[in-house]
Structures are given as C-alpha cells and as structure tokens.
C-alpha cells in the first residue's frame, strides 16, 4: 500500500549550512518517505540570503563580483564535499548552480550599472539562495534513488503586492496544489521564501519567509503535519540564545505560538500559523541537529500550563 498522508518538512538555513547538514536532511527526508508523501520546503544555505542582499546596499561592479564569487564558492564547496553522495548527479547540479549564478550576474551587474536596486530586482536576487539549495537537495535525493519533483514557487505560490513583502493568494495556491495532490508521485521539493505574480514575476514573502511558504504548501496540500526543522529543539519558553534557562516547550497552542512569533520568537515567521490553523494542521518545531528530540507540537487545544505563562518573547529596539 502506498502512503497517502502528506507531511511538509521545512528546513531552515542552519539545517542546510554544510555538506554534512545536507546529508542529514537527505536522511530525514528518505526516512519520512517510507511512511508519507513528502513536500520538502528549503531555505537558502545559512548566510547566503544576507550575502546576496549585500547588507541592503546597491553593490558597485566589483562588489557585485565579490558577491557572485561568494555565492559560487559557498555552493561549490558543498557540492565538492558531496561528490560521492551525488555521483553522476553532480554534473547537472553544477550546471544548475552555474545557471543561477549567471542570472545573479545579470541582475547584480544591472543594479551596479543603474546604481539602483528596485524592489522587483531585489526579490529576484534574493530568491537565488533557495533555488541553489534546492538544486543540491534534488540532486542528493535523486542520487538516493528517490524521485523528487521540483515545484516552481512562481507557478505554485501565487502572490501579489509589494515585491519584498508579497501577500499570498490562497484560493489560487489551493487550485495549483490540487493537481499536485492528485499526482502519483510522493516527493516534492519547493524552494521557500518567494512566489510569483500573475505575470510570472518573482515576489518575495519577506525575510524569514520560508516558514510561511511551508505553511501555505501544507494548507494547500491538506497535509497531516507541518514540520519546521531548525537549529533548536522546538519553540522555547524564551529565546535560548538570550535566556540560558529557557527550555523547549513540549506543546503550545496555535494562539500561543502566534503570540510568541509576532512578538519576536524568530524560530517561526509570524505568518506561519494562520494558514495551517485554518485547516487544523498541527505544526512540529524540531531540530535537525537532534532529530530524535520530540520538539514542540503546536495545535489548537492545549491545556494551559500550571504557571499560567507558556513563554516570553521580546522585540528588539522597540
């Protein structure tokens, strides 16, 4: 019997920070494929989006070349370290990375020439990290004997409005995923962080937006579970980088998770919960560095904690 329930697995930048991290992600996805149909949503490798956006400054030509050299080196290093894992798929992965770099060159040199970075161009530039990470991931999954299908966010995550803070068009996203759900295959790879408008242009969901992409895909695929794989073992009672005593919450309600994320808990993008909550899809926040830790389960009905306080978060520089 083929598994039919769908699990959406979103991997953040730190979960894709090195060749070893890519191996772990491939293992986790392969394991999930034994019991589920799986939609993988991937962020850019850690640091790549910041590199591409060049600190918000418009690069001159030399700076643009340095950004491109950094983009190339970061991915080439990982592909070289994964050469054995990728086997004959390494060639196509390298070609895809070259093609993305060429797109980046055109866009960044254009910005340097115009001394201007229009939001629509920045949205395209910033999408390159997710596309590169997914090219590597698709190669690795194929080399494992799996049959992933790449989903282009431009044709599946329909958005409109501000190119750097686009709004999803849920009815259209649902419609495009209806065909995906009906497919015989059971493994998809979707780059996070961006979608496409009616004219086929790339628009960004905003920084940290891959969580949002994953939630939109989970809702549209009627997934059984949305997993947010990150570098900490769940949603903590407070930011673990600031509060040493913070601990991962075994569970939290949608309402509590929404409040924590709206008020600064970076582990979940603030727009992640509403699309899945509407469909009653639970969210598991868990660590790719400690995959056997149960992490945090977020769902509708959760008994209140004895202290009355689930967690604390704060917004910097308010």
Of 74 and 89, which has the nearer Cβ to ligand ASP? 74
Binding site partner of 226, from ligand ASP, Mg ion, ligand ADP, none, Cβ cut-off 5-8 A by kind: none
Is residue 204 helix, strand or coil? strand
Q: Does 191 bind ligand ASP (CB under 6 A)?
A: no
CB of 125 to ligand ASP, least distance (A): 12
Q: Does 117 bind ligand ASP (CB under 6 A)?
A: no
Alpha helices in 115-232 (DSSP H): 119-126, 128-143, 153-156, 170-182, 210-220
272 closest CA partner among 316, 235, 303: 235
Q: Does 13 bind ligand ASP (CB under 6 A)?
A: yes
CB of 91 to ligand ASP, least distance (A): 26
Alpha-carbon distances of 53 from 45, 134, 153, 164, rounded to whole Å: 14, 19, 20, 12
Beta carbons of 112 and 63 less than 8 angstroms apart? yes
Instruction: Pick one of 210, 230, 272, 313: the residue that binds ligand ASP (CB under 6 A).
Output: 210
Binding site partner of 129, from Mg ion, ligand ADP, ligand ASP, none, Cβ cut-off 5-8 A by kind: ligand ASP
Q: Does 208 bind Mg ion (CB under 5 A)?
A: yes
Angle at 159 between CA 191 and CA 104, to 5 degrees: 50
Q: Does 139 bind ligand ASP (CB under 6 A)?
A: no
Beta carbons of 256 and 40 less than 8 angstroms apart? no
For residue 236, what is the DSSP state? B
Q: List beta partners, residue 39.
A: 8, 188
Q: Does 49 bind ligand ASP (CB under 6 A)?
A: yes
Q: Does 270 bind Mg ion (CB under 5 A)?
A: no
CB of 268 to ligand ADP, least distance (A): 8
Binding site partner of 209, from ligand ADP, ligand ASP, Mg ion, none, Cβ cut-off 5-8 A by kind: ligand ASP
């Amino acid at each position: 019997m083929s598994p039919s329930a769908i699990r959406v697995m979103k991997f953040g930048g730190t979960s894709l920070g090195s060749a070893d991290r890519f191996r772990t992600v491939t293992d986790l996805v392969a394991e999930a494929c034994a019991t589920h149909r799986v939609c993988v949503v991937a962020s850019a490798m850690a640091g790549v989006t910041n590199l591409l956006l060049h600190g918000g400054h418009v690069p001159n030509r030399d700076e643009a070349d340095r950004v491109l050299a950094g983009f190339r080196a970061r991915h080439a290093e990982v592909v070289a370290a994964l050469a054995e894992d990728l086997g004959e798929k390494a060639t196509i992965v390298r070609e895809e990375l070259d093609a993305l770099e060429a797109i980046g060159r055109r866009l960044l040199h254009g910005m340097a020439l115009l001394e201007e970075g229009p939001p629509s161009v920045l949205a395209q530039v910033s999408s390159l990290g997710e596309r590169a990470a997914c090219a590597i991931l698709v190669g690795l999954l194929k080399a494992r004997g799996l049959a992933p299908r790449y989903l282009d966010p431009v044709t599946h995550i329909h958005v409109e409005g501000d190119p750097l803070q686009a709004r999803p068009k849920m009815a259209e996203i649902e419609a495009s995923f209806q065909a995906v759900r009906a497919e015989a295959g059971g493994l998809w790879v979707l780059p996070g962080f961006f979608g496409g408008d009616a004219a086929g242009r790339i628009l960004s969901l905003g920084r940290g937006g891959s969580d949002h992409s994953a939630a939109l895909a989970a809702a549209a695929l009627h997934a059984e579970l949305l997993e947010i794989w990150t570098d900490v073992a769940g949603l903590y009672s407070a930011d673990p980088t600031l509060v040493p005593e913070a601990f991962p919450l075994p569970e939290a309600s949608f309402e509590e998770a929404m409040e924590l994320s709206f008020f600064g808990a970076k582990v979940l993008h603030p727009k992640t919960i509403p699309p899945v909550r509407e469909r009653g899809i639970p969210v598991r926040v868990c660590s790719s560095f400690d995959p056997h830790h149960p992490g945090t389960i977020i769902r509708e009905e959760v008994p209140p904690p004895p202290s009355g306080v689930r967690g604390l978060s704060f917004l910097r520089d308010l």
